[in-house]
Structure 1
Amino acid sequence: MGSSNRTLIFATIFLYLLLHFPSQTEARGLKSPAKCPKLLSQVCKTSQNYAFCVRVLMSNPLTLLAPNTKGIVVNALDIVRKESMKTSKFFDGLVNGKGTVPAFKPALKECASDFKKASGLMNLKVLEGDFATMDVNYALDDARSCETKLSMDEVNIKSIPAAIKNWKNFYAVANAAALTLENLQN
């Protein structure tokens, strides 16, 4: 293949990409809750924080490509499952941290386990149609169990409340997805 053919191929690819990718202004507009696709809006309308739900779901390109509401629910649960594992790893990191008070470690280990269990509840195989929100609420029970153990053991680490609050924001997205799933089944 000659160099002129390569140049032509690269120029064609560049032009194609240039014409098919949104501009920065268009991309910002897509991430605005006001420009939310109808199917995605349907999932987020029951969330405690509509704007956060939309922002989280629109951050995943697979959500925008979902062909139906069930596809959006699957992606929402995947995002929250990953956030649950991230929170579990956060607690694992505290357990293994050099400066962690040894008396705090049992509670921190329990929290890591609780959030790992919560991640297992975030998939359609676990959720039952008519009881999907109840199943997702088990994940919230795991987070509350963690909070109770931390309180009982008087664990005082400044980064923990923010990590749990962040997870609860993501949990609200999963709860909205589960409610949407229940509504699809009925």
Structure 2
Amino acid sequence: MVSKTSLLLCVAIFMTLFISSSPTTYAENADSSGVEATKPAPRPTEPYKYVDEFCKKSRTRGFCKRVLKSDPWSASANNSVDLLFISGDLAVSYANKTKEYMAYLLKSNATKPELISILKHCISKYDRGISELLTMPKELVYDPALPSYDALLGSDALKDCGNALKSGEMVDKSILSIHKTATAYVWLCVDIAMTIS
């Protein structure tokens, strides 16, 4: 009869030799601690060439370059679809941070009562805007014109929040500032998506 230890050893050897990558391949991709290394962003021969070309035509050249070049993947972007994925990720990330800040203010005891309904409204609008931005890459598969529609719906949702913020008499300037930046991220997505359709 074969012992459990012998059986486990045979299974481990089998899996190592026949199922997983060879130990040499694994060692080549691992750092000194034995953890497999992550792949760096590709290094193009002319980094940011497409970003520079696109941003030259943008309404907000400086913002466009600064935002897109903040993501290492944009160095190898070759077309507007690449930029749409990058800008969409960045816009969703910034919108989530803005929404989290508003949620923090909503829970804060220092928040003025008249601002509570505005913050709730804005959080709801940010959820809607983020949802629209997240559908852009999925709908690109069906029709290249759909992402621009999604981006416009996202910008409309944030615009509704902006209108509510401006209507409040006691709105904190920091909220207006980060909301304005979040809106600029979404408009960058709109500009990029419009070049695809």
TM-score (structure 1 length as normaliser): 0.69
Identity %: 24
Give deviations 1:118-176, integer Å, cap 9, x for gaps: 11222311455224323211111111211233344544222122112111221222112
Quick check: 1:46–1:176 contact (8 Å CA) kept in 2? no
Specify which of 116, 138, 158 is matched with residue 173 of structure 2.
158
Specify which of 71, 77, 80 is matched with residue 60 of structure 1.
71
The 1:118/1:100 distance shift into structure 2, 3 A limit, reads: same
Aligned residues: 151
Partners of 1:42 and 1:124 lie apart in 2 by: 22
Q: Secondary structure at the match of 1:59?
A: coil
Partners of 1:46 and 1:89 lie apart in 2 by: 33
Partners of 2:178 and 2:95 lie apart in 1 by: 10
Q: Secondary structure at the match of 2:163?
A: helix
Q: Which has the higher helix share?
A: 1
Tell me whether 161-170 or 120-129 shows the greater mean CA deviation. Answer: 120-129
1:87 lines up with 2:90 in the alignment: no
Quick check: 1:84–1:167 contact (8 Å CA) kept in 2? yes
Q: Mark the runs of 5 or more structure 1 residues left unpaired by the alignment.
A: 1-9, 11-34
1:124 lines up with 2:137 in the alignment: yes
1:142 lines up with 2:153 in the alignment: no
| Matching residue of 1:77 | 88
One-letter amino acid of the counterpart of residue 183, structure 2: K
Partners of 2:77 and 2:171 lie apart in 1 by: 42
1:71 positional shift? 2.2
Quick check: 1:40–1:54 contact (8 Å CA) kept in 2? yes
Q: Which has the higher contact order (CA 8 A, sep 6+)?
A: 1
- Aligned alpha-carbon RMSD (Å): 2.6
Q: Mark the runs of 5 or more structure 2 residues left unpaired by the alignment.
A: 1-31, 33-45
Give deviations 1:38-73, integer Å, cap 9, x for gaps: 322344344321121111111111222345542232
Partners of 2:180 and 2:165 lie apart in 1 by: 14
Quick check: 1:87–1:163 contact (8 Å CA) kept in 2? yes
The 1:136/1:179 distance shift into structure 2, 3 A limit, reads: same
Q: Secondary structure at the match of 1:47?
A: coil
Specify which of 109, 126, 129 is matched with residue 120 of structure 2.
109
Q: Secondary structure at the match of 2:138?
A: coil
1:176 lines up with 2:187 in the alignment: no
